[in-house]
Structure 1
Amino acid sequence: MIKLLHVDDEADILEIARMALEISGGVEVVSCLSGERALVAAKQGAPDVFLLDVMMPGMTGPQTLAALREVPGLADVPAIFLTASQHDGKETELLAAGAIAVLKKPFDPLTLGDEIKKALNGN
C-alpha cells in the first residue's frame, strides 16, 4: 500500500483524485488543502510520495516541497507535481526543484494511479 500525501487548494480536485487513486488500488490518500496543513499531516504519518499542486495561495507547491524536505525522515520522499501551466520550461523548473515527474491538469482520473505508479518506478 502506497501512502500518498496530496496537496491542492481545490477541494473538488482533492476528492476526484482521492476517489480515482483509491479505486485504482494500492493507494491510501491523505488530502490537504494547503502546504501548511500538509506539513502537519506529514509529521503525523510519513507518506511514501507527495502529489503537489504547483499554484496555491500561501505556500506554492515548490515551497511546500522545500518545507517538507526539512522534516526529519522526509528528505528523500519522491514528489510529483500537478500543474495546469503549459509554458515552456515549467516542467524543467519543477524537476529541478526535486520532482520525479510533472503531471498535467486536468488529469484523467482513470489513468492517474497508473501515471503515479509509473513515475515511482522510474518510467
Structure 2
Amino acid sequence: MKTCLIVDDSTVIRKVARRILEEIGFEVDEAEDGKEAFEKCAKNMPDSILLDWNMPVMSGLEFLKKLRSYVGGEMPKIVFCTTENDIGHIAMALKAGADEYMMKPFDREILEGKFLGLYQD
C-alpha cells in the first residue's frame, strides 16, 4: 500500500484529503507544518506528500528544499497544493522538486487524478 503524508496547517484540508486518499488506497499520515513533516520523513519516508505552501514554523517551499537535499528525500512524489496561483510560484515549486501542483480549493476528481497519475507508468 502506498503511503502519503498530508502537510497542511488546516485541519479541514487534512481531513478532506485524508478521506479521499484513503478511499483510493493510500495509507495516510498528517503533519501541521514543514518542521513536523520533516521530522516524520526522517523517521519513515512516505511514498508521496500532499504539501501546502503557506504554513507557520516552516513553509512548504522551505520543507521541500530541505527534504530534497536529505538522503532519501528525492524519493517521495510531491504534490504542492496551495492558493498561490501565479506562474512564479508554480515555477519555484517545480524547480525546488515538486512533481505536481494543484490549486485550493480542490475536489475529489482533481486530487484522485493527481495522485493516481503519479504512479502510472
TM over 0.5: yes
- Rounded Cα–Cα distance in structure 1 between residues aligned with 2:13 and 2:42: 23
TM (normalized to structure 1)?
A: 0.87
Change beyond 3 A, Cα 1:35–1:96:
same
Matches within 5 A, 1:39-118: 39-118=38-117
1:23-62 CA distance string (max 9 Å, x none):
12x2111110011111121122210112110111121111
CA contact (8 A) 2:50 2:80 kept: yes
Report deviation, 1:110: 4.2
User: Are residues 1:17 and 2:17 paired?
Assistant: yes
In structure 2, the gaps of 5 or more residues are none
Give the aligned residue type for 1:5.
L
In the other structure, the counterpart of 2:4 is: 4
CA contact (8 A) 2:47 2:75 kept: no
TM (normalized to structure 2)?
A: 0.88
Greater CA drift, 43-52 or 5-14: 43-52
CA contact (8 A) 1:20 1:110 kept: no
Greater CA drift, 65-74 or 89-98: 65-74
Percent identity, please.
33
Classify the secondary structure of the residue corresponding to 1:117.
helix
Report deviation, 1:111: 3.8
The alignment covers a number of residue pairs equal to 121
Give the aligned residue type for 1:59.
M
- Rounded Cα–Cα distance in structure 2 between residues aligned with 1:94 and 1:6: 17
